A = this chain, B = another copy of it.
């Protein structure tokens, strides 16, 4: 049991799901206060400003993602396995509605109106993600598991784009399986 209060974690978790639903301007301190069961002013005690809150939130998200990639490097058997574990993770998040969208993908869409500090964190996540995917595609091509018609970086970027666009399509059609269909189609082509 940690000696740190769980309230700030509750605030972060709540803010995360509110951002996933409607982005940076889609929620307020009042919304969080109601869900967490705390007064608006008390949130300012934990996070002086909204920028502090969201910057912290994205920073943690980024660290979690990085840890997830490291975990996949250790556990997954080969590049193909790594990719399908990655999309499988998202399929689960979308299907059980626990996190039906990537926080950073959502924030990225409103990047021009985001406070600079938040925008910077979002950009860093995209770099982390595209670097990891590129390394996976490179390894897959080297080992001969993937047959790529384009440079690994281009394939990785296209794959990443399809994942983010897939989240969007699944949201619009309110159909988690659509995400699976799209990512499966992307994975299929890697060895044909």
| A contact residues vs B (CB 8 Å cutoff) | 21-23, 25-26, 101, 105-106, 108-113, 122-123, 126, 130, 149-150, 154-155, 157-158, 160-166, 168-169, 171-173, 178, 181-182, 184-186, 188-189, 192
User: Could you say which of B113, B149, B168 contacts A192, with CB atoms under 8 Å apart?
Assistant: B149
User: Could you say which of B108, B112, B160, B182 contacts A158, with CB atoms under 8 Å apart?
Assistant: B182
* Residues of B contacting A171 in the complex (Cβ-Cβ under 8 angstroms): 108-109, 111-112
Please determine whether A22 and B126 come into contact, CB atoms closer than 8 angstroms.
Answer: no
Chain A contact residues: helix, strand, loop or mixed? helix
A183 and B190 CA atoms in complex are apart in Å by 16
Please determine whether B172 and A108 come into contact, CB atoms closer than 8 angstroms.
Answer: yes
Please determine whether A110 and B172 come into contact, CB atoms closer than 8 angstroms.
Answer: no
Please determine whether B150 and A113 come into contact, CB atoms closer than 8 angstroms.
Answer: no
Q: List 21 A-B contacts (CB under 8 A).
A: A22-B113, A23-B110, A105-B109, A105-B168, A111-B171, A122-B172, A126-B173, A130-B169, A149-B185, A150-B184, A154-B181, A154-B182, A154-B184, A157-B178, A157-B181, A158-B166, A160-B165, A161-B161, A161-B162, A164-B164, A165-B166
